[in-house]
Structure 1
């Protein structure tokens, strides 16, 4: 039995779709059904469901609002994972948790971020996610932490959906050209996670599509693949004066994960093409 938290999010939705197709037994719970920030609720749910595996897709991902709503973000991103880790340890479940490239400051100058690099988040969201990682590790149960970046899938809480909506409203687009990371599809995350479960992988790994790009190039390729002719002006990140700072260069290497699992992980371009071709974008 698998327990999935954060049922209404795009990653959990992809798990629900895939596990249903594979005929796997699972229970998916929304925030209303299970507040992971409440330890008593978590212990009660895990005791009743008796999952062999807990996949935590619940997260507070509103990067700018986290600057103001730090306590809310902390409850979901730090206390929540700890509560799940406590319950997993108590009832002998295996916890899978997702973190982010925003645990890094983006100042690395000699290649992609690896699991050996020391985190140094520059915004409140990144700080809460890093704390969640630490709390899971300190709890001492059986866990797998997977750092992901620029996640997109079916749903509205992602850059691609917003990009298409902007093209409908604006005469031209301004897209940041000085932020670099790895667009990563929920399909890739789900496929690799299920592979990791089969091979009983534990520890901390970076799970992203291969390669990296800027937001500007990501937007340009997306519109090209969709056949949308819209001028995109590259601008620097300070143009928008957002509340939260973003790391300028935070692409992570997936080499350790590929080597350990002996798998190929699609490039971000091919994953994007597959997503759009399969009609993953529902507006």
Structure 2
């Protein structure tokens, strides 16, 4: 049996869809049912359900708010994974956890970030996620930590939905052109996660779609695929004066994971087009 945390998020919803299709037994719980930051609650739930695998989709990912709500972010992103790792170890279960490209500072100049690169987060959100990784590693060896980036899936939590909302309200859009990473679909994350679990991989990997882009180019391709004729002006990130600093260039390489699983992970452009078609958004 698989236990999924953070059931209301877009990643958990994709897991629910996929596991239901595959007729795999699972239990998905939201924050109101399971506060992963509370060890007693986690232990009680895990002892009752005795899952073979825990998939942690719960996260505090409000990057700017984390600057002022550090304790809340820390409880979910650091203490939460630690608690789940402790519980998984007690019952001999396996833990899958998701981290972020924001563990890096974005200053690498000679290629994409690989798993051996030294993390150096530039914001509080990234710091809590990196510490969560460390706690899991310290507790046991039956885990998969996947660093993901610019995640999008069904629902209203993703960049494309926000773009279309902005497009309806504004005569033109301003989108940053100096932040680079890899838009990654929840479908890709779920498919690769389940394959890695089946192949009994352990350790830390970068799980992203292939290639990389800027937020500006991501927005341009989205509007092109949606056939939305709206002007998008490229601007620098300091235009918006956001509380949290972002890494300028944080795309990660999925080469290690691709080789181990002997697969080709779809390009970000192809995954985006597939997602928009399945959502019925392209003409």
Q: Name the structure 1 match of 2:216.
A: 216
Q: Report the CA distance between 1:221 and its aligned residue.
A: 0.2
Question: For the Cα contact (< 8 Å) 1:101–1:252, is it kept in 2?
Answer: yes
Q: Name the structure 1 match of 2:186.
A: 186
Is structure 2 residue 51 aligned with structure 1 residue 54?
no
Distance 1:256 1:212 in 2: 16
Q: Name the structure 1 match of 2:160.
A: 160
Q: Report the CA distance between 1:279 and its aligned residue.
A: 1.1
After TM superposition, the runs of 4+ consecutive aligned structure 1 residues lying more than 6 A away are none
Q: Name the structure 2 match of 1:177.
A: 177
Q: Report the CA distance between 1:103 and its aligned residue.
A: 0.1
Q: For 2:36, what is the secondary structure of its paired residue?
A: coil
Question: Per-residue displacement from partner, 1:133-152 (whole Å, max 9, x unpaired)?
Answer: 00000112411000000000
TM-score by length of 2: 0.99
Distance 2:183 2:246 in 1: 15
CA spacing shift, 1:280–1:146, aligned 2, 3 Å? farther
**Greater shift after overlay, 95-104 or 150-159?**
150-159
TM-score by length of 1: 0.99
Is structure 2 residue 79 aligned with structure 1 residue 85?
no
Distance 2:273 2:224 in 1: 10
Q: Name the structure 1 match of 2:151.
A: 151
Question: For the Cα contact (< 8 Å) 1:154–1:280, is it kept in 2?
Answer: no
Q: Name the structure 2 match of 1:96.
A: 96
Q: For 1:204, what is the secondary structure of its paired residue?
A: strand
Question: Per-residue displacement from partner, 1:178-237 (whole Å, max 9, x unpaired)?
Answer: 000000000000000010011011000000000000000000000100010000000000
Q: Report the CA distance between 1:157 and its aligned residue.
A: 1.3
Structure 2: gaps (5+ residues): none
Q: For 1:48, what is the secondary structure of its paired residue?
A: helix
CA-based RMSD of the aligned residues comes to 1.0
Distance 2:140 2:268 in 1: 34
Distance 1:56 1:99 in 2: 10
Q: Name the structure 2 match of 1:279.
A: 279
Distance 1:68 1:257 in 2: 35
Q: Name the structure 1 match of 2:11.
A: 11
Q: For 1:205, what is the secondary structure of its paired residue?
A: strand
Is structure 2 residue 115 aligned with structure 1 residue 111?
no
Q: Report the CA distance between 1:280 and its aligned residue.
A: 6.6
Q: Name the structure 2 match of 1:197.
A: 197
Distance 2:155 2:100 in 1: 19
Question: Per-residue displacement from partner, 1:221-280 (whole Å, max 9, x unpaired)?
Answer: 001000100000000000000000000000000000000111110000000000001117
Distance 1:21 1:158 in 2: 24
Q: For 2:62, what is the secondary structure of its paired residue?
A: coil
Distance 1:33 1:49 in 2: 13
Q: For 1:147, what is the secondary structure of its paired residue?
A: strand
Question: For the Cα contact (< 8 Å) 2:144–2:204, is it kept in 1?
Answer: yes
